[in-house]
């Protein structure tokens, strides 16, 4: 069985529902429509008695490069999957203020947390920024050893929208990721406990399939109550409050004096120039190892406005 969407693919094979992010030409950048279609498919899977386990994966060469910051975030006119006012996934409050983005994306990904059935993130290639937030809210993460996980926006844009790092990593590594956003391999992330498995790329699909089918051997109601029990334990420890507090701080970080520089460079000279300005001094991600300095002449010609929703 398969369902037709514009930005995702969804199909059911036996007891497993496979949800594929399907914007490979954009490295599966998370547009509003893609995220809304994802929520729709997740709820369909939750309500399907045939489906016991859900897998979220990415088409093409990567899982997801994060939220679409290249001008393609808006949902197409007439999309039935977004709210008609906010034009975003219809979850929680509309969160339409200028610095409400982090609250909105937490509400969206929190649906994965509350979906009764276990969700596995199948990760290859890049899993960056918003891609890490999506993957982290899944119950399990199975990655290729050479996958690249990171959060580069913290270098120049805002703090993490979803401050998941302290919940999944030792304190020193959580600080390293949250402060620097440096790339970490899938093998390393399995070592630190964020990923359940790290395998060679050619073994990824088979490993995910086997793991999903092992889960499906347990009756659905038992899986539902096991997931709920673990979730509620983390909620008692404060994860819900902590993530929303992190969103409040993200909003503050977006209105600091330099908060709008990245967006202003992108508007003047294009996204590629903005990414080079952000990551060039670190010589990683899309810079191909070429180190460049941030020079005064690289700054935007007009004073940048606060970034708000990047």
Read off the pLDDT of residues 193-223 as tens digits, 9 standing for 90 and up: 999 999 999 999 999 999 999 999 999 999 9
The answer to whether residue 1 scores a pLDDT higher than 50 is no
Q: What residues contact 135, with CB distance under 8 A and at least 6 apart?
A: 56, 63, 64, 121, 123, 127, 141
Distance CA 254, CA 248 (A): 10
Burial 267-305 (b: 16+ CB within 10 A, else e): beeeeeebbbbbbbebebbebeeeeeeeeeebbbeeebe
- Give the pLDDT score at 139: 98
- Give the pLDDT score at 308: 60
Q: How confident is the model at residue 4 (pLDDT cuts 50, 70, 90)?
A: confident
Length of the chain in terms of residues written: 310
Read off the pLDDT of residues 10-30 as tens digits, 9 standing for 90 and up: 999 999 999 999 999 999 999
Q: Which domains does the chain carry?
A: 2-251 (3.90.226.10), 258-298 (no CATH)
Q: How confident is the model at residue 310 (pLDDT cuts 50, 70, 90)?
A: low
Whether the CB-CB separation of 211 and 67 falls below 8 Å is answered with no
| Mean predicted confidence (pLDDT) in 170-174 | 98
The closest of 258, 244, 269, 240 to 310, measured between CA atoms, is 258
Q: How confident is the model at residue 71 (pLDDT cuts 50, 70, 90)?
A: confident
- Give the pLDDT score at 122: 99
Strand pairing partners for 67? 30
Instruction: Please give the C-alpha separations between residue 7 and each of 32, 58, 185, 215, in angstroms, as whole numbers.
Output: 10, 11, 27, 28
| Mean predicted confidence (pLDDT) in 106-131 | 98
Q: Within 13 Å, how many C-alpha atoms sit on residue 92's CB side?
A: 17
């Amino acid at each position: 069985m398969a369902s037709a969407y514009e930005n995702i693919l969804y199909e059911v094979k036996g007891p497993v529902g496979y949800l594929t992010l399907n914007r490979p030409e954009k490295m599966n950048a998370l547009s509003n429509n893609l995220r809304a279609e994802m929520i729709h498919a997740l709820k369909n899977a939750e309500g399907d008695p045939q489906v016991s386990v859900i897998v979220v994966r990415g088409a093409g060469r990567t899982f997801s490069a994060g939220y679409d910051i290249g001008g393609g975030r808006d949902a197409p006119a007439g999309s039935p999957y977004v709210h008609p006012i906010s034009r975003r996934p219809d979850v929680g409050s509309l969160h339409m203020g200028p610095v409400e983005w982090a609250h909105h994306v937490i509400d969206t990904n929190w649906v994965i947390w509350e979906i009764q059935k276990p969700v596995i993130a199948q990760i290859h290639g890049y899993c960056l920024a918003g891609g890490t937030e999506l993957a982290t809210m899944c119950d399990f993460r199975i990655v290729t050893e050479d996958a690249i996980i990171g959060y580069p926006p913290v270098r120049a844009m805002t703090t993490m929208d979803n401050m998941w790092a302290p919940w999944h990593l030792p304190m020193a590594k959580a600080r390293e990721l949250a402060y620097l956003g440096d790339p970490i391999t899938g093998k390393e992330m399995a070592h630190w406990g964020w990923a359940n498995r790290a395998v060679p790329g050619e073994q990824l699909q088979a490993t995910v399939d086997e793991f999903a089918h092992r889960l499906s051997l347990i009756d659905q109601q038992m899986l539902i109550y096991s997931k709920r029990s673990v979730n509620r334990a983390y909620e008692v420890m404060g994860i819900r409050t902590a993530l929303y507090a992190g969103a409040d701080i993200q909003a503050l970080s977006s209105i600091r004096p330099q908060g709008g520089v990245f967006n202003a460079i992108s508007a003047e000279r294009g996204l590629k120039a903005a990414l080079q300005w952000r990551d060039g001094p670190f010589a990683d991600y899309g810079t191909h190892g070429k180190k460049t300095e941030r020079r005064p002449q690289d700054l935007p010609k007009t004073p940048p406005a606060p970034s708000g929703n990047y």
